[in-house]
Amino acid sequence: MKVLALLFCFLALFVSISRAQPVWQSNLDGKIQFYQTTDFGIILAGSENSLFALDGQTGERLWRKRTKGLDETSVTPIPSKRLICFRAKRSGVRIRSKAT
């Protein structure tokens, strides 16, 4: 009986996962190379051509910085601040804040 109940739970979980729909999606300018979240729920996504800040709840694009050659080690959210520090290959260190 326990095995049957466990099997039923797995089946219910599988059905709910297979019907899951994305909450939102966003079209960016290339293949996503990396992403990370900040303390404020902002998603930083690096594509082949740009760095994006997206609202984690809605997917709305907050800002975009065109730059090539970024990877996950080039971008650092500053904890408890609405600031992002990133390093581009030719332009040095930049600090970007969320537009309000």
| pLDDT 10s digits, 50-66 | 999 999 999 999 999 98
**DSSP letter assigned to residue 59:** -
**Residues contacting 33, CB < 8 A, separation 6+:** 46, 47, 48, 70, 71, 72
Cα atoms in the 13 Å half-sphere on the side-chain side of 10:
6
Q: Taking all residues of the chain, what is their mean pLDDT, rounded to a whole number?
A: 80
| pLDDT 10s digits, 8-32 | 777 776 766 666 677 888 889 989 9
**pTM of the full predicted structure?**
0.67
Assess contact for 35 and 49: CB atoms under 8 A: no
Rounded to a whole number of angstroms, the CA Rg of the chain reads 19
pLDDT score at 88: 67
